[in-house]
Amino acid sequence: MKTRASKTVVIVGGGLTAGLIARQLTAKGVDVLVLERGGDHSKGPESSLPNQRDELRWSVRQGLIQDWSRETYTLRHQQNQTALPVRWMESFLPGQGLGGAGNHWNGHLWRWAEYDPQLRSHYQQRYGKQAIPADMPLQDWGVTYAQLEPYHDLFEKLFGVSGQAGNIGGKKLPGGNPFEAPRSGAYPQAPLHVLESGQVFKQACDHLGYHPFPQAAANSSGAYTNPDGQQLGQCQYCGHCERFICEANAKGSPQVLLYPMLRARKSFEVRLNTQVLGLRYDAAGKRATAVHCLDLMTGEEYEQPAEVIVLAAFTMSNTQLLLHSKIGKPYDPVSNTGVVGKNFCYQVNAGVDLFFKDKWFNPFLASGSTQIVIDDFNNDNFDHTGLGFLGGATIQAYQFSGRPIKGRRVPDGTPRWGTAWKQANADWYAHSMSLGIEGSCYPHRGNYLSLDPTYRDAYGRPLIRMTFDFRANEQKMAAFVSGKMMEIARHCGADKVGSLQALVTPFDSRLYQTTHIVGGTIMGETPHDSVVSPHLQHWDAHNLFVVGASVYPHNSGYNPTGPLAALALRLGDDLLRYLQRPGRL
């Protein structure tokens, strides 16, 4: 196999985190090479009118998503079962192509709770040492919110986030989230418009004494120029946001704000259609020496050496690359030893539909983030004494699209075809809205990632095997917060309230839930309980770093991108230090 000329920093995966790290490094002239398995989406039908508005092509047939014929995952719910391959995944949708899932995301942006990085200590302090069950391996991250705050602030400015601050320097602000971690300043842009569904929800929440606020969004509420001089257009409320690439350059996304700028910088190189198959590891020297690449256009395989290697290939690929390359000890749930694959978590969801004869919701007038939310029952924002579970969920009135194949609501009991079915669709399409919950998912000793013993990907590597189910803690939490949601639903003044769409158990790969899968290469304070250090440095290879949701030891009741973007920007700065004096950070 050929070896190419060595590079200073090689980043595996060309998505959101890779773009942020490369921004920090190339600004200081450091050589960066990004290896991305997909192509460039910026000038094709997926990002221009009219073909961008094609629900069948991009959403239903998953035109921007990972090619499942090449790489998929196997699933089992319990360790004593045989896992089967998910042949067509619906539940979560990893991206492919320059910009990664950061192009086709919704753009909800959260900073997570101030206590999230110290969650274990937090729960123990508030509820005592016994509060955390033995089979729930929560752990502190080894970094504090205060350390990340400047990077949150930078990311929000880079991505032109639209929102209403609720807490600036400890001062609570009306209209924002009173549970918000303290911010150093306001959001760079005003919040998005509030839709009819949001107004209905807000009224009900005000009446019940909760604290509704508009979702902070990387959908640009106005025309915006970021600190790098990169520009966003105004959001068109086009209803083709999540699963789609923005045609109006209004969604804060790597392909608009990062890669065009990076590609004009001399020290930046990206190789598209380049599949990374594994890493070369020098166990004695505790170094990752090179990346094993396959050029998907020519079939050429080669080794790409580097001084620093960063894995930024999303949760599943990050974990797979470490397990397959035999770097770090695989987690074993029986002996409770090892770390790689540990603390794999997902996200809790439930919902309800509401129907109003006389209200016009116009579901197609929406952006990927138009929702009004309450944080009152999320995480540890409420007293858990005597509840029998930990964690919580946001409750929201969300309206992201009226795309007609998948985005129609009909009341319970509607026939599935025929004239009565048409009648119900005609009656309620514009006159219905939904509430949902999006909740935390804490680690469980029996939920983890490992290599499948039977099934292989198109490159001959074992598939990643998920052993995962929603356990008792998450089921109890979902039931509790769903009860609160149903209470709000009954206060919205609807003519018909649908029945609760409860958390689906066992975990089902056939239903889209969220793409918020976390863990597998978790961060922590010691090599004993984590794969990477608080600086995201691999404990067993000091020039190897891992970034993205795979480093989260738990999932909070929020979308993941805020903290992982902040961690990526900080990693960029850490790498500048590392390159000056390679060693443990």
Partner 1 sequence: MTHPVDFPPPDSAGSARRVFLKQLAAASGSLPLGKALAGGTATALLLQSAEAGAAPSGKPVINTVYGYESFGPDEAAFVEAMLNIMCPADHFTPNGVDCGLAIYIDRQLAGSFGQGARRYAAGPFLQGAAQCGPQLPLTPEQYFKAGIAEADRAAQRLYGQLFDALTPQQGDAFLQQLAAGQVAGEQLDLAEWFNALVYPLFAEACFADPLYGGNVGMVFWKMIGYPGLPATHALDVVQYLGKPYPGAAHPKSIADFS
Cβ-proximal residue to ligand FAD, closest one: 15
What mask of x and - would describe binding to partner 1 in positions 90 to 109, judged by CB under 8 A?
A: --------------------
Nearest to 375 by CA among 159, 108, 196, 558: 558
Query: Rounded to the nearest 5°, which phi and psi values hold at 121?
Result: -60, -40
- Report the distance separating Cα 254 and Cα 29, nearest Å: 20
Closest distance between ligand SF4 and the C-beta of residue 481, in Å? Answer: 27
Choices 42-50, 98-106, 390-398, 573-581; region in contact with ligand FAD by CB under 6 A? 98-106
- Interface pattern 386-425 for ligand SF4 (x via CB under 6 A): ----------------------------------------
Identified binder of partner 1 from the candidate list 248, 270, 308, 492, rule CB under 8 A: 248
What does the DSSP 8-state code read for residue 47? G
Residue 187 near residue 163, CB atoms below 8 Å:
yes
Candidates 559, 563, 571, 572; binder of ligand FAD (CB under 6 A) is 559
- Contact with ligand SF4 (CB under 6 A): which of 136, 250, 327, 464? 250
Q: Least distance (Å) from partner 1 to the CB of residue 488?
A: 20
- Is residue 355 classed as helix, strand or coil in its secondary structure? strand
Exactly one of 63, 100, 117, 239 binds ligand FAD (CB under 6 A); which one?
100
Residue 242 pairs in a beta bridge with none
Q: Quick check: 251 binds ligand SF4 (CB under 6 A)?
A: yes
- 338 vs 90, 323, 461, 529, 542, CA distance in Å? 30, 11, 21, 8, 18
Q: Which residues contact 174 (CB under 8 A, 6 or more apart)?
A: none
Is residue 236 part of the contact set for partner 1 (CB under 8 A)? yes
* 95 contacts ligand FAD (rule: CB under 6 A): yes
- With binding defined as CB under 6 A, does residue 246 bind ligand SF4? yes
**Contact of 515 with 101, CB cutoff 8 Å:** yes
Q: Residue count at the site for partner 1 (CB under 8 A)?
A: 67
Peptide bond into 506 cis (omega under 30): yes
Applying CB under 6 A, what is the total number of residues that bind ligand SF4?
14
Which residues in 268-287 contact ligand FAD (CB under 6 A)? 275-276
DSSP E strand stretches across 238-367: 268-271, 274-282, 287-295, 301-311, 348-355
DSSP letters for 173-222 = -TTS-TTPPPBSS--SBPPPPPPHHHHHHHHHHHHHT---EEPPBSB-SS
**Among 6, 51, 414, 501, which residue sits at the site for partner 1 (rule: CB under 8 A)?**
51
17-49 burial, b at 16+ Cβ within 10 Å, e below that, comes to bbbbbbbbbbeeebbbbbbbbbebbbeeebbee
Site for partner 1 in 482-511 (CB under 8 A): 506-510
Among 76, 108, 403, 542, binds ligand FAD (CB under 6 A): 108
Task: Read off the tokens for 150.
Answer: 């400047």
Interface with ligand FAD (CB under 6 A), residue from 10, 11, 12, 373? 12
The closest alpha carbon to 162, from 182, 186, 190, belongs to 190
Active-site residue list: 516
Q: According to CB under 6 A, which one of 343, 381, 432, 515 is a site residue for ligand FAD?
A: 515
Could you say which of 169, 426, 528, 580 contacts partner 1 (CB under 8 A)?
A: 426
Region binding ligand SF4 by CB under 6 A among candidate stretches 33-41, 242-250, 442-450, 503-511: 242-250
- Taking CB atoms within 8 Å and a gap of at least 24, the contacts of 403-409 are 403/55, 403/59, 403/239, 403/240, 403/364, 404/55, 404/429, 405/55, 405/56, 405/59, 405/60, 406/55, 406/59, 406/60, 407/363, 409/353, 409/355, 409/433, 409/434, 409/498
Residue numbers of the site for partner 1 (CB under 8 A)? Answer: 49-51, 53-56, 60-62, 67-69, 72, 74-77, 81-89, 193, 195-196, 199, 234-240, 248, 359-360, 362, 364-366, 402, 404-405, 408, 416-419, 422-423, 425-426, 429-430, 454-456, 506-510
- Contact residues toward ligand SF4 (CB under 6 A) are 219, 235-238, 240-241, 244, 246, 248, 250-251, 367-368
- The contact set with ligand FAD (CB under 6 A) reads 12-18, 35-38, 93-97, 100-102, 104-108, 242-243, 275-276, 312-314, 317, 515, 548-549, 559-561, 564
